[in-house]
A and B are shown apart, each in its own frame.
Chain A
Amino acid sequence: MLHLQPNNLLIQKTLAEASEALQAGAPLTFDRIISDFDYTNFHVSNTNENRTQLFLSVRTKAWQSILECDGGAQGVLPYLAAKYTRLPGVTVATPCEAGFDYTLAIDLEQLAPETVQQLSLLKTNIMSFPFHLAFQEFVTLSAANPTTTTVQVGKFNEETGNVSSYDVSKTLYTIQYRDNENMFIKPSNDRITVIFETFFQDETDKVFGKVFLQEFVDARKRNRDIQSAPQVLFSTEPPLELQGHLPQGNEIADEASKRFITFVLFPRHFANDELQFKTVAQLTLFRNYFHYHIKCSKAYMHSRMRYRVDTFVKVLNRAKVDEDEDEAKETKRTITGRKMVY
C-alpha cells in the first residue's frame, strides 16, 4: 500500500547531490527538469559562473487559481516568502524564471537537511495556501458564532440552508488543479468542507472510481476504529455548497460523468500546525492516491487474468490427443530398429 509522501523525493535527491558535490569540491552544473503530479514541473538550474547558487523554479497548473483565491490580493507570495526566507540560504528570486511561476534561489553552502525537506515540499506548500486562508477564516467565524452542540452529521445537508444556526462563509476557495477537476474549500463556523470534483476519461476507470468513492464513505460507517476520520460524502450531483459557484455552460457532456466527494474537516483535524500540515498534505494528494489505487486494482485484475489464462492453457494442453501411440504403429523402422526420417 503505497503511502505517497507529500515531499518530492527527486528534489530531495537532487539537492542532496548538489550539496555533496559542492562539499567534495567539484560543484556540478545543473539543468534538470523534475516533475510532480497535476501538471507541476520543477526546474533545478544554476549557471556555470556561480555554481554555489541553485535556482528552483516551479510551474503548476493550480498557480493561477491560488494566486486569485483571496480576491486578487496575491497573498500566496508573502505566504511562501515567509515560509522559505526564514530558512538559511534561501531567498526568493524576483523576477522568477521565464515560463515558471515561482523561483527560489538557494545558497548551497548553507543548505541544511531541514531546508532540503522544506524545499521538496514546495508544491504542497503552494497548495496549502487556500487551506491556510480557510483555517484563518474558520477562526474568525467560530469566534463570531461559537457552536455549543455537536452537529448531527446526518442532517448536514439540511443545515447548510439554515443560515441562522450555521454561519457559512461567503467565500469558496477554488483550486483549479487539473483541466476538468477542481478542488473547493469552504470554511464555516464549526467545520471546513473540502470538495473534490472527479472526472474520468476512461470508462473502466469510471467504474473503479465509483467503487472506490463509495468505499470511502462506507468504510467509515462500518469501522468503529476510524470514527475520528473526517466525514466523507459522495454524490453524483454538485453538493449544495457549490451551487451558484460552479461554472455554468461549459462541458455539459462531462457533467453526467462528474462525481463529487466531500470531506468534512472538524476542528480536531486542524487544531494545531502539525495537524493542519498533515491534513493539507493528505488532501492535496488525495486524487493521486486515489488514482494510484485504481491503477493498482487494474494491475491486480490483470495478474488474476494472466493466472486464469495460464490455468486454462494447462487444461487445454492436457486435452491434447496423445499421438505418439498411433505413430508408433505406423512409423517404419529399418531392420536395425532405427526410425525412418523423411
Chain B
Amino acid sequence: MSYLNNPAVVMDNGTGLTKLGFAGNDSPSWIFPTAIATSQGNSTASKKTTGASSGATSGTGSGNPYFGNSTSATSFNNLNSNMLLSNNLAGKRGTEDLDFYIGNEALIASQGPSYSLSYPIKHGQVENWDHMERFWENSIFKYLRTEPEDHYFLLTEPPLNPPENREQVAEIFFESFNCAGLYIAVQAVLALAASWTSSKVTDRSLTGTVIDSGDGVTHVIPVAEGFVIGSAIKNIPIAGRDITLFIQQLLRERGEADTSLRTAERIKQEYCYVCPDIVKEFNKFDQNPDKFAQFIVENQEKTQKKVVDVGYERFLAPEIFFNPEIASSDFLTPLPITVDHTIQACPIDVRKALYHNIVLSGGSTMFKDFGRRLQRDLKSIVNNRIAQSEMLSGTKSTGVDVSVITHRKQRNAVWFGGSLLAQTAEFKSYCHTKQDYDEYGPEIVRNFSLFNMV
C-alpha cells in the first residue's frame, strides 16, 4: 500500500482560525479563518447576481495572484454555466451547494451581495455540520491538494467535546471522504506534546496544566497522564480580543490619529510585553522617554502616513491577565489565582505534577515575560499556602516546584503537537481505519488509545 508513505494531514479547526498542514512540518501550511461564505437565495433569482458579484470579487482577488478566486463555477465561465444549467441534470436542482468559498476568500466574497458569511465553529465546537463538511471538502481538495483516501488524518477537539460530535466527525471523514485513518486528539494534550521541544522539559510526560489563550476565551485545563480532568477546567473571559479592545480604548482616550482595531492589534503584537511591577514600570517610562514607541500606519497605496504614539499600553495591556480590574468590571479574578484554583480542584496526587508542568499555548500567551510573571505570581501563592500549613501543622513541607514552560512553537502549539505526534511511526497504529469503521460503525471513535511516549 503506497499510502503508507504519504504524510498524515493535521487539521486544527479552531473557533477563529483553522490550521492545516502535513505531519513533520514545523509550521502549518495554511492558516485562515474558519469561515465559509455560501451563496444564498434560490437558483433562478440569484443566478444573475452571482455572476456579477463573482466578477467583482475576482477583480479584488487579482491583486494577489496566489489567492485568486476560482472556487466558483461562475468565475471561470459565467455565460456558459448559465446555459449549461438549463438543460442537464444540474438544471433540475441548483448547484448552490457547490458555490461557496472558505477562509480568506470567504471574507472577500462576503463583501459582495450574494454570499453570506458564517463561522461553523462556535466556542470550539462545531455548530453547523453542513457548513463544516463543505469547509473540510474545500480545505482538503483545494488547499492541501490531497486525495483523502490516501492519507491519515489527525483532527483536534476541545476538551469536554461530547462524544456525539466525535461520531459526526467520524461519519463525515469516513463516509464522505473515505479517509484512510482518523485520530481525534484533545487540543490540550497536543499542546502538552508541543512543549517537549522546550529545553526545560526533561521527561516527556502527558501530565500538566495547559493555559490556552486564543482570541475569544482563555482556558485552564489540567491533564493527567493524557486524560483531561474535566471537572476542574476553568475559563477566563479575557483573551486576545479583550487586549486589543483595551489598547483601542487607550488610543481613543488619548486621541491618536488612527484608532482602528487593526492598528490596535498590530501594536499588541509588536510592542506589548509583561512587566514585573506596574508602578516601577510607570517610573521607568517617565524617566526614560525612549521607552515610548511610535507606530506608523500606512494606507494600502502607501501614500499617507499616520504616526501613532505607543505609551503605557505596552505593558498595561497584557497586565489585564494579572489585574483584570483595569479593563473589566465583571470578571476580577487574576490568571494566577485561577490556575491555582484549577490545580487545587484536581485530585491531590497529581497536583505536584500539575504545578511542575504549566504549559502555555495560543497567540495571547506570546507576550514577552508572560511565563516568567505567571510563574512568579503562582509561586508566591503556593509558598504562602505552604507556609500557612507548616505553621498550622508544625511539620516541614517538602515544597512544591512551580514551573511555567514557554517555548518557541507556542503560537500554533496545538497544531505543532499534532504534527509531532502524527509523524511518529506508531501514529498509524493508534488511528481508527476505514476497515474498523465499516466493521463497527461510528461509535469506535468514542475511544482513542493515547500516545504513550516515553
Interface residues, chain A, with chain B CB atoms under 8 Å away = 1-5, 8-10, 12-14, 16, 31-39, 41, 61, 113, 179, 201-202, 204-205, 215, 218-219, 222-223, 225-226, 288, 291-292, 295-296, 298-300, 302-303, 306
Q: Are A41 and B6 in contact (CB under 8 A)?
A: yes
Closest to A219 in B: B88
Interface residues, chain B, with chain A CB atoms under 8 Å away = 1-3, 5-7, 9, 22, 24-26, 29-30, 65-66, 70-73, 75-76, 80-81, 83-84, 87-89, 95, 97-99, 129-130, 133-134, 137-138, 141-151, 171-172, 175-178
Given A2-B71, A10-B29: A35 and B176 within 8 A (CB)? no
Please, which residues of chain A bring their CB within 8 A of the CB of B171? 302
- A292, B143: Cα distance in complex, Å: 13
Please, which residues of chain B bring their CB within 8 A of the CB of A299? 97, 130, 133-134, 137, 172, 176
Q: Are A33 and B72 in contact (CB under 8 A)?
A: no
Chain A nearest CB, measured from B152 CB (Å) = 12
Q: Are A295 and B70 in contact (CB under 8 A)?
A: no
Please, which residues of chain A bring their CB within 8 A of the CB of B5? 39, 41
Interface CB pairs A-B, < 8 A, 16: A2-B138, A9-B145, A10-B144, A33-B24, A35-B145, A36-B146, A37-B147, A41-B5, A215-B88, A219-B89, A223-B84, A223-B87, A223-B88, A225-B84, A288-B147, A303-B133
Closest to B88 in A: A219
Please, which residues of chain B bring their CB within 8 A of the CB of A16? 66
Given A2-B71, A3-B70: A37 and B145 within 8 A (CB)? yes
Chain A nearest CB, measured from B424 CB (Å) = 15
Closest to B86 in A: A223
Please, which residues of chain A bring their CB within 8 A of the CB of B147? 37-38, 288, 291
- A10, B171: Cα distance in complex, Å: 28
Q: Are B142 and A39 in contact (CB under 8 A)?
A: no
Q: Are B6 and A39 in contact (CB under 8 A)?
A: yes
Q: Are B137 and A222 in contact (CB under 8 A)?
A: no
- A214, B84: Cα distance in complex, Å: 17
Chain B nearest CB, measured from A127 CB (Å) = 14
Given A61-B2, A222-B87: A35 and B142 within 8 A (CB)? no
Q: Are A1 and B146 in contact (CB under 8 A)?
A: no
Q: Are A296 and B97 in contact (CB under 8 A)?
A: yes
User: Which among B26, B70, B95 is the interface contact of A5 at CB below 8 angstroms?
Assistant: B70
Closest to A215 in B: B89
Which applies to chain A's interface (DSSP): helix, strand, loop or mixed? helix
Q: Are B130 and A225 in contact (CB under 8 A)?
A: no
Please, which residues of chain B bring their CB within 8 A of the CB of A113? 65
Please, which residues of chain B bring their CB within 8 A of the CB of A10? 29-30, 143-145
Please, which residues of chain B bring their CB within 8 A of the CB of A14? 29
- A177, B449: Cα distance in complex, Å: 34
- A105, B316: Cα distance in complex, Å: 48
Chain B nearest CB, measured from A58 CB (Å) = 13
Please, which residues of chain A bring their CB within 8 A of the CB of B88? 215, 218-219, 222-223
Please, which residues of chain A bring their CB within 8 A of the CB of B65? 12, 113
13 more CB-based (< 8 A) A-B contacts, given A296-B137, A306-B130: A3-B73, A9-B66, A34-B22, A34-B29, A36-B145, A37-B145, A39-B150, A61-B2, A219-B89, A295-B176, A299-B97, A299-B133, A303-B97
User: Which among B2, B24, B177 is the interface contact of A295 at CB below 8 angstroms?
Assistant: B177
Chain B nearest CB, measured from A7 CB (Å) = 10
- A85, B436: Cα distance in complex, Å: 48
Given A3-B76, A201-B178, A299-B133: A33 and B84 within 8 A (CB)? no
Chain A nearest CB, measured from B332 CB (Å) = 34
- A295, B99: Cα distance in complex, Å: 15
Chain A nearest CB, measured from B89 CB (Å) = 6
Chain B nearest CB, measured from A226 CB (Å) = 7
Taking each of A13, A35, A39, which has the highest tally of chain B beta carbons within 10 Å of its own beta carbon? A35
Q: Are B145 and A8 in contact (CB under 8 A)?
A: yes
Please, which residues of chain B bring their CB within 8 A of the CB of A296? 97-98, 134, 137
- A56, B24: Cα distance in complex, Å: 17
Closest to B98 in A: A1
Please, which residues of chain B bring their CB within 8 A of the CB of A298? 175-176
Chain A nearest CB, measured from B119 CB (Å) = 17
Please, which residues of chain B bring their CB within 8 A of the CB of A31? 25-26
Please, which residues of chain A bring their CB within 8 A of the CB of B151? 35
Q: Are B178 and A202 in contact (CB under 8 A)?
A: yes
Q: Are A205 and B178 in contact (CB under 8 A)?
A: yes
Chain A nearest CB, measured from B319 CB (Å) = 30
Please, which residues of chain B bring their CB within 8 A of the CB of A3? 70-73, 75-76
Closest to A288 in B: B147
- A137, B302: Cα distance in complex, Å: 54
Closest to A28 in B: B27
User: Which among A32, A37, A292 is the interface contact of B25 at CB below 8 angstroms?
Assistant: A32
User: Which among A5, A35, A291, A292 is the interface contact of B6 at CB below 8 angstroms?
Assistant: A35
User: Which among B133, B149, B178 is the interface contact of A302 at CB below 8 angstroms?
Assistant: B133
Q: Are B142 and A4 in contact (CB under 8 A)?
A: yes
- A31, B25: Cα distance in complex, Å: 7
Please, which residues of chain A bring their CB within 8 A of the CB of B72? 1, 3
Closest to A123 in B: B145
Q: Are A295 and B145 in contact (CB under 8 A)?
A: no
